[in-house]
Amino acid sequence: MSDYKYILDVQDLHTTFKTDNGEVHAVNGVSFCLEPGQTLGIVGESGSGKSVTAYSVMQILADNGGITGGKVLYKGEDIAKWNSKQMAGFRGKCCSIIFQDPMTSLNPVFSIGYQLEEAVLLHTDRTRSEAKQRAVEMLTLVGVNEPEKRVKQYPHELSGGMRQRVMIAMALACEPDILIADEPTTALDVTIQAQILELMQSLQKKLGMAIIMVTHDLGVIAQMCDEIIVMYGGRVCERGTADDIFYAPAHEYTKGLLRSIPTLSNTDERLVPIGGTPINLLNMPKGCAFCPRCDQAMKICLNQVPEEIRLDDHHLAACWMNIKELYKEENA
Amino acid sequence: MANEYLVEVSHLKQYFPIRSGFKTIPLKAVDDVSFNIRPGETLGLVGESGCGKTTVGRTLLRLYKPTDGTVTFNGTEVTDKNIHALRKEMQMVFQDPYSSLNPRMTVEDIIGEPLDVHKLYSTRAERHEKVMELMETVGLNADHATRYAHEFSGGQRQRIGIARALAVDPKFIVCDEPVSALDVSIQAQVVNMFEDLQKQRGMAYLFIAHDLLVVRHISNRIAVMYLGHMMEMADSKELMDHPIHPYTESLLSAVPIPDPKTARSSQRIVLEGDVPSPLNMPTGCPFRTRCKYATDQCAAQRPELRDRGNGHFVACWNR
């Protein structure tokens, strides 16, 4: 295997869905890299392409969709070219995913234990009795009490938080290098959400996997992530460390997003919403995807898609406003 | 008679019969809850799923017939007989803007329906005019009156639901998770609209939500519920800054703060275990099974909601 710095290196990814109303370009040239053991957050509204990006990496897109361009390098190898058999080996063993709704992602007619064993048997050469043992081990690891009893239970017998723990146990049963968490706590209550986030952090310390956290919740992102990508309309608006994004946002969308959420300090102030309605992917603007909702939009924004402009070592933003700023600085 | 309070709820109980085998056991969704709402005030109601907050909202409007206890609106006790007339004064905005609008009705008919029910117009033209006015109030394009609900986005649908509630010019609106189904950037638009409408019309809200940051932003006072019981109620700033009840404390510490520095420095109090089933409620204090301060007294007796000064009500033995 070749030398690699990044465990996952996504380059210029394009994903398209064919629908009756035309082609939907859900992901338009997204690039990011993930170092081993790192937590990357992908944040955006519904329809921003954050989930589709994650699904594209796993190649679990719906039948009418597919990767139409770009590379997905896992340890230096382009898995976008892999066939379905190779991908089956990749999923679970190298990279796992947990979904938003733990009720619909567990099979209601099989016991928890059976479903956990299935994952283990499929990806490792353990025997059934070893797999059984592994299932109990994993449940203990994710903090499910009385695991010996739980393996015989069915999903409907467990609470939402417990089901999400089982999902995490299943995802980590084969020790993947990457865990993709697609809105893992959105369906859960805050106190249960805190439990699950804590669990994910402690498991990351123990097992050392990298996490891609896909969510719309800026609070969760602030708590969990080292690096953050902000997406809008299938493109990356801004990327940087958590501090860059929260304290020095450089894209008008990120700024708007941060202004529009209630925090502990702005209770008495009025929220500043982002005007307009979320983007329609069937009818994408020619220039910057955010420009119809942007207060600062300029002529260039209408016609030309902004490139990512490097502001700092790690901090990049795709907004023409920054060019204007740079230009001002140079002339001053 | 002038009342200090617009809505007075006293010892409200709402049990749902659950049949299990031959027995019917009551599910105590709301168990002995009392609170008041002043005219023009916003009371935030927070709690985890299954704590009975939605049931409280629905029982106030008598969408459910309460098992016990009374709801008094503007000095009149709400009964089955007068609820029809009273719904001209109290309205509701529902959580899901997708299922709470009839897909076969045009927007004009949806917003006009309360006007029909309460006979608030004399001519068709007047009705049309009123609907147009309402659509403008909530920031909808009046040209879209002939469209159907599915042609609108989530945020716009929620605006339709709000316009419908406003149609009868109510004094009190129960907002049941009105922003939780919306995208972050749209949430702020709707929250601002609620605040503006309150300023213009002097309505009172019961704002039910699980997002504590949104509730804190919009509410004057906040009430915290757990398993059908009221645990704590206070001014929103007081409650957020100085929570007394251990449950409120852990609830607040669990809220993910969108600020990396605070997130890194704050100590989360992570609760063990899950919320017990309301069919199998613990004796005494409902929170004692997850509370680290629990004593024998907590198991034996249920603590009452008592005023700790300045209208800060707490139901706890140990604090």
In chain B, what residues touch A193 (CB-CB under 8 Å)? 254, 256
Per-residue pLDDT for A264 more than 90? no
Q: How far is B123 from chain A (nearest CA, A)?
A: 35
Chain A: residue whose CA lies nearest to B258: A219
Closest CB from B155, B240, B258 relative to A218:
B258
Closest CB from B156, B258, B263 relative to A261:
B258
Tokens of B15: 């049990």
Chain B contact for A4 (CB, 8 A cutoff): no
**What's the gap between Cα A183 and its chain centre?**
8
Q: How far is A246 from chain B (nearest CA, A)?
A: 7
Alpha-carbon distance of B21 to B199, in angstroms, equals: 52
Distances (CA, A) of B210 to A127, B46, B173, B178: 45, 5, 18, 11
Provide CB contacts within 8 A for A212, sequence distance 6+. Answer: A8, A34, A39, A40, A41, A42, A54, A57, A178, A179, A180, A181
Task: List, in sequence order, every beta strand (DSSP E) within chain B.
Answer: 7-20, 23-37, 42-46, 68-73, 76-77, 90-93, 172-176, 204-208, 221-226, 229-235, 306-307, 313-314
Domain boundaries, chain B: 7-89+170-241
Query: Across residues A199-209, what is the average pLDDT?
Result: 93
- At B192-205, the pLDDT tens digits run 999 999 999 999 99
Query: Across residues A168-183, what is the average pLDDT?
Result: 92
Chain B contact for A217 (CB, 8 A cutoff): yes
Residue B127 pLDDT: 95
Contact A246 B153 (CB under 8 A): no
Closest CB from B48, B216, B263 relative to A191:
B48
Q: How far is B10 from chain A (nearest CA, A)?
A: 28
The answer as to CATH 1.10.10.10 being correct for domain B7-89+170-241 is no
Q: Which of A39, A162, A216, A223 has the most B C-beta neighbours within 10 Å, making it the best mutation to test the interface with B?
A: A223
Q: Are B226 and B195 in contact (CB under 8 A)?
A: no
- At B155-199, the pLDDT tens digits run 889 999 999 999 999 999 999 999 888 888 888 989 999 999 999
Please name which of B51, B72, B73, B54 lies closest in space to residue B63, comparing C-alpha atoms: B54
Chain B contact for A233 (CB, 8 A cutoff): no
- Which segment of A125-134, A168-177, B254-263 scores lowest on mean pLDDT? B254-263
Tokens of A298: 């300029």
Alpha-carbon distance of A326 to A331, in angstroms, equals: 9
- At B137-156, the pLDDT tens digits run 998 888 889 999 998 888 88
A121 confidence band (pLDDT: 50, 70, 90): very high
Query: Across residues B12-18, what is the average pLDDT?
Result: 93
B1 confidence band (pLDDT: 50, 70, 90): very low
Chain A contact for B144 (CB, 8 A cutoff): no
Contact A260 B217 (CB under 8 A): no
Exposed / middle / buried, residue A186 (Cβ in 10 Å: 0-12, 13-18, 19+): middle
Chain B contact for A280 (CB, 8 A cutoff): no
- Which segment of A305-309, A322-326, B206-210 scores lowest on mean pLDDT? A322-326
Q: Helix H segments across chain A? A: 50-58, 84-90, 112-123, 128-141, 147-150, 160-172, 190-207, 218-224, 242-247, 252-260, 299-303, 320-331
pTM: 0.87
A2 confidence band (pLDDT: 50, 70, 90): low
In chain B, what residues touch A242 (CB-CB under 8 Å)? 260
Residue B2 pLDDT: 55
